[in-house]
């Protein structure tokens, strides 16, 4: 079982990035997928999550209206479209999968984690 994030990088304030989370060894249909982020010196924060089998989603208040989570089940990939990025969005972004089909930001409920991708928003 493996999760691989990609799409991070350096962007100016107000710019956009699309992160991808690709799975190997399991099908997203059977899992809930979450995006988390951790900035230097701060705790890990839940950003968004999706249950790909029914399309249910949740978003953190800090990113509502700017970020959109989506999935391509044929590609076994979940995306996080990030628009209107701000310096405070700078962090390492991780995707995670949980066997229980529950929309949650509780990290200990997630069974598998990717290695993370760095997002830096330059003011």
Instruction: List Cα–Cα distances, 71 to 21, 51, 116, in angstroms.
Output: 9, 9, 18
Within the chain, which residues score under 70 in pLDDT? none
User: DSSP letter at 115?
Assistant: -
pLDDT value of residue 115: 97
Residue 112 CA to residue 97 CA, distance in Å, equals: 5
pLDDT value of residue 45: 97
pLDDT value of residue 33: 96
pLDDT value of residue 73: 87
pLDDT value of residue 28: 81
pLDDT value of residue 13: 97
User: DSSP letter at 105?
Assistant: -
């Amino acid at each position: 079982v493996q999760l691989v994030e990609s799409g991070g990088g350096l962007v100016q304030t107000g710019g956009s990035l699309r992160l991808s989370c690709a799975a190997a060894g399991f099908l997203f249909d059977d899992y809930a997928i979450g995006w988390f982020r951790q900035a230097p010196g701060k705790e890990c924060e839940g950003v968004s999550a999706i249950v790909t089998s029914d399309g249910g989603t949740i978003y953190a208040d800090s990113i509502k209206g700017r970020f959109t989570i989506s999935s391509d089940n044929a590609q076994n990939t979940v995306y996080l479209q990030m628009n209107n990025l701000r310096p405070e969005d700078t962090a390492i972004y991780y995707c995670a999968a949980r066997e229980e089909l529950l929309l949650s930001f509780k990290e200990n409920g997630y069974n598998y984690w990717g290695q993370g991708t760095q997002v830096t928003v330059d003011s």
